[in-house]
Amino acid sequence: MQADSIRAVVTGGVSGLGLAVATRIVADGGRVALFDVNDDKGAAAVAALGDDKARYFATDVTDEAAVAANMAAAKDFLNGLNMVVNCAGILGAGRVLGREGSMPLGRFQSTVMVNLVGSFNVAKAGAELMQHNDAGEDGERGVIVNTASVAAYEGQIGQAAYSASKGGVVGMTLPMARELSRFGIRVNTIAPGIFWTPMVDGMPDDVQQSLSASIPFPSRLGRPEEFADLVAYIAGNRYINGETIRLDGAVRLAPK
Ligand X SMILES: NC(=O)c1ccc[n+]([C@@H]2O[C@H](COP(=O)([O-])OP(=O)(O)OC[C@H]3O[C@@H](n4cnc5c(N)ncnc54)[C@H](O)[C@@H]3O)[C@@H](O)[C@H]2O)c1
Q: What residue ranges in the chain does DSSP mark as E strands? A: 7-11, 31-36, 54-58, 83-86, 97-98, 101-102, 142-147, 185-192, 244-247
Burial (0-12, 13-18, 19+ Cβ within 10 Å), 136:
middle
Residues 56, 153, 162, 239: which is the catalytic one? Answer: 162
Cis peptide bond prior to 224, omega within 30° of 0: no
User: Three-class SS of residue 223?
Assistant: coil
Q: How many residues bind ligand X (CB under 6 A)?
A: 31
**Per CB under 6 A, which of residues 180..199 are in contact with ligand X?**
192, 194-195, 197-199
The pattern of x and - marking residues 194 through 223 that bind ligand X according to CB under 6 A reads xx-xxxx-----------------------
125/184 with CB nearer ligand X: 125
Which C-beta is closer to ligand X: that of 118 or that of 184? Answer: 118
Neighbours of 190 (CB within 10 A): 25
- Indicate the Cα dihedral angle 60, 63, 69, 70, nearest 10°: 20
Cβ proximity to ligand X, 24 vs 141, nearer residue: 24
Active site residue 239: no
Near ligand X by CB under 6 A: residue from 3, 5, 28, 38:
38
Question: Is 67 a residue that touches ligand X (CB under 6 A)?
Answer: no
Query: Per CB under 6 A, does 87 bind ligand X?
Result: yes
8 to 15, 37, 217: CA distances (angstroms): 16, 18, 32
Identity of the residue, 44 or 240, whose beta carbon is nearer to ligand X in the bound complex: 44
- Cβ–Cβ under 8 Å, residues 36 and 56: yes
3-class DSSP state of 255: coil
Q: Does 36 bind ligand X (CB under 6 A)?
A: yes
Tell me: does residue 164 bind ligand X (CB under 6 A). no
Indicate the residue among 112 and 114 with the shorter CB distance to ligand X.
114
Least gap, CB of 248 to ligand X (angstroms): 9
177 and 127 Cβ atoms separated by less than 8 Å: no
Categorise residue 167: left if φ over 0, alpha if ψ from -120 to 50, beta otherwise: alpha
What stretches of 55-104 show up as alpha helix (H) in DSSP?
64-78
Which string of x and - marks every residue 95-134 that binds ligand X (by CB under 6 A)? -------------------xx--x----------------
R_g (Cα) of the chain, nearest Å: 18
Under the binding rule (CB under 6 A), the answer on residue 37 touching ligand X is yes
The residue within the footprint of ligand X, chosen from 6, 8, 10, 14 (CB under 6 A), is 14
Q: How far is the CB of 107 from ligand X (least distance, A)?
A: 14
- Which sequence positions are flagged as catalytic? 162
* Contacts to ligand X by CB under 6 A: 11-12, 14-18, 35-38, 59-62, 87-90, 114-115, 118, 147, 149, 192, 194-195, 197-200
